[in-house]
């Protein structure tokens, strides 16, 4: 799988821009992403800021280790 050029914090900040009144189309054009990716990020990172993202990353890693 291709590595993302955006960090988790960047994804959360991009998805949070809608709350400031910016149109989704404009956000996606500026970031260079498709709207489907934006809505995936919004679903995953909704309401998360850096402390919450750290916890999410830890949970994802523990799930991967459990599956291996």
User: pLDDT for 11-53, tens place per residue?
Assistant: 888 888 888 888 999 999 999 999 999 999 888 877 666 666 6
Cβ count within 10 A of residue 5: 9
Q: Inter-axis angle of helices 35-45 and 8-16, to 10 degrees? A: 100
In the predicted model, what is the mean pLDDT of residues 49-61? 69
- pLDDT value for 53: 65
Residue 35: DSSP 8-state: H
Distance CA 67, CA 51 (A): 25
């Amino acid at each position: 799988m291709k590595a993302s050029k955006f960090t988790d914090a960047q994804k959360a900040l991009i998805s949070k821009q809608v709350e400031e009144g910016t149109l989704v189309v404009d956000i996606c054009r500026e970031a260079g992403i498709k709207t489907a990716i934006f809505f995936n990020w919004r679903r995953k990172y909704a309401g998360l800021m850096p402390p919450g993202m750290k916890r999410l990353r830890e949970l994802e890693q523990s799930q991967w280790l459990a599956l291996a």
